[in-house]
Amino acid sequence: MKCFAGPGSLFTLWKDTIGNGKAGTKAQCVKSALSVLKDGKSVFIDRCNLDREQRAEFLKLGSAQIDVHAVMLDLPTQLCISRSVKRTGHEGNLQGGKAAAVVNRMLQKKELPKLSEGFSRITFCHNDAEVQAALGAYSGLGPSDGLPPGCFGQKSQDAKVQVGIMKFLKKAEGPSPVVSKVNSNQSVASIGSSEKKDSSLEREQMPILPNAPQKEESKGKEDAVQAIDNDVCTLAFPSISTADFQFNLEKASDIIVETVEEFVPKLGNARLVLVDLTYESKILSLVRAKAAKKSIDSSKFFTFAGNIIELSTKGGLNCNVIANAANWRLKPGGGGVNAAIFKAAGADLEKATNERVKSLLPGSAVVVPLPSTSPLYNREGITHVIHVLGPNMNPQRPNCLNNDYNKGCMVLRQAYTSLFEGFLSLLKLQEKSVTKRHEEFLHHSGHGPDKNVANGDLKNKRDDAVVSISSKKSRGSGDEVETHITRPRTGNSDSGTQTTNSGMTKAWGSWAQALYHIAMNPERHKDDILEILEDVVVLNDAYPKAQKHILILAQARGLDCLADVHEVHLELLRRMHAIGLKWVEKFLHEDSQLVFRLGYHSAPSMRQLHLHVISQDFNSVHLKNKKHWNSFNTAFFRDSVDVIEEVNKNGKAMIKDDESLLSMELRCHRCRSAHPNIPRLKSHIQNCQVPFPAFLLQSDRLVRAPDSN
């Protein structure tokens, strides 16, 4: 763990080398830190402060004028041990076989830092990329800059998962860390590694948002933190007064903060994010400082360093609307944000823009829906682009104001106002749309309008009942595919019953309603969820039947299963399919040999419509019996593309809910050869190289890496 104290420029201390090149004492380290702080510099203390007692002396360095931050390198145990075993020449002689035992003992006793100890900010890093992001955040700070208080990136308050030392000694791998010591004129120590990030950890690790506090489950009031949600409507916007327009940044930052302050109270649950490429950005620094002085709610508005076209995939920040600092022709080209957005969105954005408007006047904005075929829509989840044109002070560009800042400031204020009003109009349209869809869902499911939904937001109307997810069997497709048929009766879908096409009523057992409760209350199940979007939730199947097996879960009430789907749900089906393809693309990037199929069970064992995205290796310990296999490899499994086509053509899907399909003989999904039991079948499919059946190779029922087709 690294302890940082400010203000001023940065100086770095190593306890292991502080005594004239030899191992020093804590007292020497504290004395040196005090000396540096008196000189008006910040200090970075590099030490393994893994328990509260070890940190206490350094925390005393803090005062009303000096903040104490912690950067906790909460790296995987295997990585820590393997690196310590391999290094040589360590000042404290922590290397070789001795290191494994020492590191393991230290990690067993670690106490994660808490704000209540006296820290004003704690940042947890779980891999090299997050370490670099934290270092970038601190190295980009100027003399008057600061970082918001709070706790960032923590996965669990009490995570202590350690495995036997010998396992790591046998499998030790990965290079030693590279530590570049710096002098007082440099900004920060560089800690890095060429080791490839463990993909198994990728989805579990929360991104570090240096300017936006992240959500944490706190165990006490003293650990209360500022929180950030990635599932709220978000507008990410760049500085409209671009370098190309040569607008004074001091004036521009004043206008941004003043306009944001005006609109924040109107946002409801939505938020605004000012984006620039680096933490060293002057406009970000100016806006951060001025927003802090005005005490603008940091959960409603914050700054973020990252590429606006890669905020979700590279930065972990989900934004459904982005702004483009456009040119007056609304054409691709030039440089900067405009060129990047048009290029990333593809020709679809230019076409959609031209259908709306041909040109733009300074100070105005236009909202353009991004077609679902756009790469930016599918990769980043962006649904709208708002083009906005600011004032120009560059004589080489059209409409130059010749340094007339009275008019320039007026135009810039008008531009931000138009931008934010465009975003608010989207929020209102979304609210009306959700209300309408909700009423249509209920109409088709036979329940009529729900008068309890006042604002039209389905996410705000949740069932008060809570299902415990303590057992993994309570989420996912379950170990058994089973249905319970009772005599016909009437009742609301909230009661856990569903009328089937045959007029019978399906009763959902308590465990079978876990997905329903996750859909209705996703905020209560953050640890089980991969992604929350406007009307769907993505989560891993708790009992996966293949290497990759996730569920795309609809959030609408009245959609218990495929039998409830009607034409009005067509767009939802297409959206679920598109989200499934996005995750397939991610999985194929990790392993291009995988092949995927997307589809629904005709008569699912779990309540709430959910799309299965499953790799076709079927390599899983949870694949145990005929029902498991046949639920994915007979007509019981309906391909998503077929369901969408049928609903589009007939207004409903063709349901094959014949349970005899689940007891059919076991046949290979490639060569269709029969096998007596699951072990024999598994042994066969591991080696079967026969091409998939013709019907699966048609209509994109199978999804694979492009070069494998």
Q: Residue 2's closest CA among 185, 144, 190?
A: 190
**Which residues fall within 8 angstroms of residue 271, CB to CB, at 6 or more apart?**
232, 233, 234, 235, 299, 300, 301, 302
Asked whether 208 and 153 are in contact (CB, 8 A), the reply is: yes
Token pair for 78: 């295997």
Token pair for 185: 């004129």
Distance between terminal CA atoms of the chain? Answer: 48
SS3 of 149-218:
CEEECCCCCCCCCCCCHHHHHHHCCCCCCEEECCCCCCCCCEEECCCCCCHHHCCCCCCCCCCCCCCCCC
Asked whether 577 and 542 are in contact (CB, 8 A), the reply is: no
**Which residues fall within 8 angstroms of residue 53, CB to CB, at 6 or more apart?**
none
What whole-number distance in Å separates Cα of residue 590 and Cα of residue 708?
Answer: 14
What whole-number distance in Å separates Cα of residue 106 and Cα of residue 382?
Answer: 44
Query: At 477, which amino acid appears?
Result: S
Judge whether 610 counts as a catalytic residue.
Answer: yes
Query: Among 126, 577, 610, 669, which one carries the catalytic annotation?
Result: 610
Alpha carbon distances (Å) from 464 to 278, 451, 461, 488: 43, 16, 9, 27
What whole-number distance in Å separates Cα of residue 650 and Cα of residue 199?
Answer: 42
Asked whether 369 and 433 are in contact (CB, 8 A), the reply is: no
Asked whether 574 and 614 are in contact (CB, 8 A), the reply is: no
Token pair for 406: 């009275």
At 578 the three-state DSSP class reads helix
Angle of helix 249-263 versus helix 405-445 axis, rounded to 10: 30
If one counts every other C-beta atom within 10 angstroms of the C-beta of residue 626, the result is 16
Burial class (CB in 10 A: 0-12, 13-18, 19+), 166: exposed
Alpha carbon distances (Å) from 220 to 114, 123, 216, 424: 10, 18, 11, 36
Per DSSP, helices labelled H in 241-295 are 249-263, 282-293
Asked whether 678 and 624 are in contact (CB, 8 A), the reply is: yes
Token pair for 37: 């702080």
134 secondary structure, DSSP code: H
Token pair for 179: 């530590």
What whole-number distance in Å separates Cα of residue 367 and Cα of residue 324?
Answer: 10
CA 273 to chain centre: 16
What does the radius of gyration of the chain's CA atoms come to, in whole angstroms?
28
Instruction: Return the exposure string of 359-373: e unless at least 16 CB atoms fall within 10 Å of the residue's CB, then b.
Output: ebebbbbbbbebbee
Catalytically active residues, by annotation:
610
